[in-house]
Structure 1
Amino acid sequence: MDRCVQHGKELEVHCDDHQELCCSVCVALNHRLCSSIIHLPDLARGFLKTTEFKQLPAAVDKMRSRLDELKNDCMKDQASLKDSYKNIIAEIKALRKEINQILDELEKKTVKQLDNMMDDLEKSIKDDLETCVHMDDQLKTMIEKLQQITGKNKETNSYIGFRVCQSKLSEANSLVQEIRQKEGMKFKSDESVLPFLRNLNSLGTVENPNSISVYKAQSSSLYKVRIKEDKYKCHIAGICELYVGGKNDLYLYTTDGRLVKKIYEDKSKYITVCRCAVSPDGERIYVTNPTAFKLITLDTSGQVLSTVEDPDLKQPTGLCVSPGGHVFVCGCISNTVVQVDPQGRRKLATLARETDGMCLPQSVWFIEKTSTLIVGQEDEDNITVLKLC
């Protein structure tokens, strides 16, 4: 019988409310008010005959296969990274031939920048590879132990092993998605090198696509948008186009207005889908859930990848994603605009508050070229323009 990691007691019951396997101490401390506590032997009775249990080995095999593919990709990325490094060095050398000796010091700075990033990315790939190997070993060990369970408590122990294995599969799936999203490095040469040579600090910048800039507000301005024909105060509720959302659903349409499919649904509360936006690569869909105070990130099939909850994001409404992948969200009743990381896992910064003129913000748009944030607010005739830095 497996034991509780926190208390060392045997796992005895399953809590439906929290979807947890618990010991007696856990129940006494954390689950006294839960409505459904079921003893594991009762819950596991007949479990070995269920389709879900019988399909677990196949699910593990499929995940291990995905991990094998990911390990192979990681090893290919190591070779590709070195090729990228050589190619960038060649670009730097080619540019170097067109200019004079004043570039010697600039070249050293640029190559040093490249070397530092090379080290960081090589370490990142090495860490990813080690994590994949470790995850693969864990899944292999877990499924072997599960298939070797015997004795009078076989059903109960098999159920426990099944739940633990399912949790590990979920962790492995998150790992696969996280590593898949990473990219290699690129070099962007400065087109003004020759005419402005003496004013430069480097030959260019080596970019890491996995990093994201965190902004802060530099200034704020208010602009009236109400026109003479408007009979009532303006309710500025949107500043872009994307997927189509209902109160509880998210739909995919073609550009000519034809419904393709429903990709997400949440009927748990009155309004669970308020606004939506899409990442530049089209792989992530961001949805605001104002009644649950959450920003939800989905994949293109509608599976929830991550959620963000934060005191500065109460009743999230409007949101936008810039071409560079920066994500901005309005907190309506918290009177805030926050920046969230591209994976939709955490808040990076609170850019504007009530003291900056925020009053029930409903919509937001970011002009990346000028680092300008435009915010529309409920029942207001004005828009607020924030200059970021």
Structure 2
Amino acid sequence: MYCEEHGEVCCCTCIATHHKSCPEKSTYSIPDTIDALFNLRDCKQIQSRLRDTLDSMTAIGKSKDDKLEALKDVKNGEIDKVLNYQRALESIIRKAADASRNEIESKYKELEKDILQEKQDVDGYEVSLKESDDKLKKAERNSAQSFVCSKIAEEKMKEVNRQISKQKLRNNDGIEYTFTPNKSLMKYLNGLHGIGMVGKKRIDLYKIKESKDINIKVAGDSKTCCSADCCLTFDNQLLMTDYNNKSLKLIDTNTMTVIDVCKLDSEPFGVCCITDDEAVVACGGNKIQFVSYGYKMEPTRQIKTSHTCYGVTTKNDKLYVTCRGSSLYIHDMAGNLLKTISQDIDGNELFSHSRHVTFTENGDKMYVCDVNRGVVCFDGEDNYQSTFNDSDLNCAVGVCVDGRGNIFVVGFLSHNVVQFNENGKKIGVVIKQDGLQQYPRSICFDQTLNRLFVTKQRSDVVKMFELY
């Protein structure tokens, strides 16, 4: 049966059940009316469209197969990243364990040396006292000799007692040194649900959900604040430089207040966290300053360099330092200059005015801001790859990554933040001038809560943007 009203082929039961409201003349017995219903040309057209649709399905099926193969490669690549990061963490833990073990060995070696010296002294006194005792026994029948021997023995006993009172000879009953595990480290590791974040790459432009002003002015600031750089600590607190007031400031990102200030002897520009309790600061006067921030921020050791220090970041126990000029310098943690990068393989200058520098999460790419040229990109082996810029970006000074394949770049003179993908293609302007006002200087991104922190030139306010 065929229902012309609905263009459907049906059985007699369906016609009677589902098409009883259709006009009587619109339902036909196909065998009885096949000559009127069948059109060879229509059939050929349908057959052609069917083949086109079949070809489309075949092509889509092949693309799905290709996508599955590509997905498998991408998955294996991401798992390799996890394994590489795991090995890096294990290496760090082994080094830390070796350092603790070496410290114990060193302490106990010193202790063993002291005890051996004391044992040698005790053995000498024991021999001397035994000699005195033997002489007294032999001089028992000679009063004069007994008197002499007893006086000599008495002097020896006095010397021994003097040494005992000075604790040069003592009983070592207890353990002199003990190892106390870092409980905060264990607590932090136990709280982890993984060793990184797993999420889809973000290909669209972030949008602003809300923004807040963080007041960074503190008592003792004699000038308007001016932050040239900022970074997030391992527990997501904001660490920022204030070169106008020669200080490093720590901000609680929950209460949005300054909770600690470290005064420095020169202007700080770049800042980067090395461990969960130590940061490194690029300072004026060709200096790199290390700062402890575990309990109370305190400056520790310094490194003097032969070049200006501005932006700084770390990777694999190396310091990457920009100079506000034509070079990028790589130092070890002791300050030794390992490498200078200023040209590509063809001898072309890479920088004119280098500023901030950062790495992707897995360290496979490095981005260096250049005021005049935009963002200079390197691979994980410090080899130059490309330079990208855009008409919406004027005077690139700050850069950070979101961990999902995107780069945020601060435009000092365009007064904005531009979002690029990892290949340097512009996604759009995520923060415009009306949201920043004027002269942003640096930027960092909280990957857990999608929060973007932006510091500004000569301002007592840091901007926080919650994105979605």
TM-score normalised to the size of structure 2? 0.38
Give the number of the structure whose residues are more often strand, by fraction: 2
Larger Rg: 2
TM-score normalised to the size of structure 1? 0.45
